[in-house]
Amino acid sequence: MKAIRVHQFGGPETLVTEDLAVPNPGNGEALVRLEAIGVNFIDIYQRMGLYRSALPFTLGNEGAGVVEETGPGAGEVSAGDRVAYAGTLGSYAEYAIVPFSRLVKLPAGIDAGTAAAAMLQGMTAHYLTHSTYPLKPGEVCLVHAAAGGVGLLLVQMARRRGARVIGTVSTQGKAELARAFGADEVILYTSQDFEIEVRRLTGGKGVQVVYDSVGRTTFEKSLNCLAPRGYLVLYGQSSGPVPPFDPQILNAKGGLFLTRPSLGQYTATREELLWRANDVLGWAASGELKIRIGARFPLSEAAEAHRQLSGRKTTGKVLLTP
């Protein structure tokens, strides 16, 4: 089978296509023939070595396809089932080995591309809006990178919970997209001061929560956008890591809360994984949640997909096709 491998950490040019033997599923594992592969920002961090995996490895954390074969052990899936998963390394390939415990069966009426586009970023938007800071009707949230993969899903789920959504994006085209997906107001944070704009849009009060995946370039002003006792949910670092931080600042700025969560912590049990995945896939299947696939590349062009994602050229989901 073809697989995209990392032998040394670095830029997109370090991704190499290799021929590997199709692996055999072990105890509690399934062999999945992938039909669609999700590209996520975490793939870029792992390729660069910002998040370390033992070299060499097959990149990719998300996919959807058909169970080809199951290993020994009890599980909810069998050969022929249509499935999707997120959070198991090795999906940039034609086949992947996935533990039964991470696989979710697809509901009727959802294709593999939509499922691979919805799983990782959809469950992320789900835990951010339902669990990390459970939004209540009438509250105001700020969503950075609102036209991105997580961004467009976060905007929709925040609206679904009855919140008013202010988004930030880098271009007019992305602003139109974020509005079309439900953002009430959109700020061009590349040409406008988003702190001043948020203060203006909230009558000086600030927002209850900032969902910040951009990190280094937004972190400090994100704190300044919060109402007293507001939450800064820092869940990514697309612009780079946030430098060391004095917690006394949280006191000085109004008794603020800061958290740095990851999807794994919010899908730690089978029950929690199924709650989030079934909500996301169910809403996607019924059309309640719009899934935008902004770009598709053949598996062999994974490096180009990375260039476009890290170069802020993409909107919504980026997929690879094996």
Ligand X SMILES: NC(=O)c1ccc[n+]([C@@H]2O[C@H](COP(=O)([O-])OP(=O)(O)OC[C@H]3O[C@@H](n4cnc5c(N)ncnc54)[C@H](OP(=O)(O)O)[C@@H]3O)[C@@H](O)[C@H]2O)c1
- Contact residues for ligand X (CB under 6 A)? 40-42, 120-121, 124, 145, 147-151, 169-170, 174, 213-214, 217, 235-239, 261-263, 309-310, 312, 314
Cβ distance to ligand X smaller for residue 112 or 214? 214
Q: Omega before 107 cis (within 30°)?
A: no
Cβ distance to ligand X smaller for residue 3 or 120? 120
Cβ distance to ligand X smaller for residue 70 or 267? 267
Q: How far is the CB of 273 from ligand X (least distance, A)?
A: 13
Q: How far apart are CA 290 and CA 114, in angstroms?
A: 10
Cβ distance to ligand X smaller for residue 50 or 79? 50
Cβ distance to ligand X smaller for residue 30 or 142? 142
Q: How far is CA 275 from CA 98, 127, 249, 287, 297, in A?
A: 19, 10, 36, 18, 30
Q: How far is the CB of 155 from ligand X (least distance, A)?
A: 12
Q: How far apart are CA 145 and CA 160, in angstroms?
A: 19
Q: Give the residue from 17, 263, 246 showing the smallest Cα distance to 149.
A: 263
Cβ distance to ligand X smaller for residue 61 or 70? 61
Cβ distance to ligand X smaller for residue 120 or 291? 120
Q: How far is the CB of 316 from ligand X (least distance, A)?
A: 7
* Residues ≥6 apart with Cβ < 8 Å to 98: 29, 30, 32, 83, 85, 88
Q: How far is the CB of 190 from ligand X (least distance, A)?
A: 7
Q: How far is the CB of 167 from ligand X (least distance, A)?
A: 9
Q: How far is the CB of 212 from ligand X (least distance, A)?
A: 9
Q: How far is the CB of 181 from ligand X (least distance, A)?
A: 13
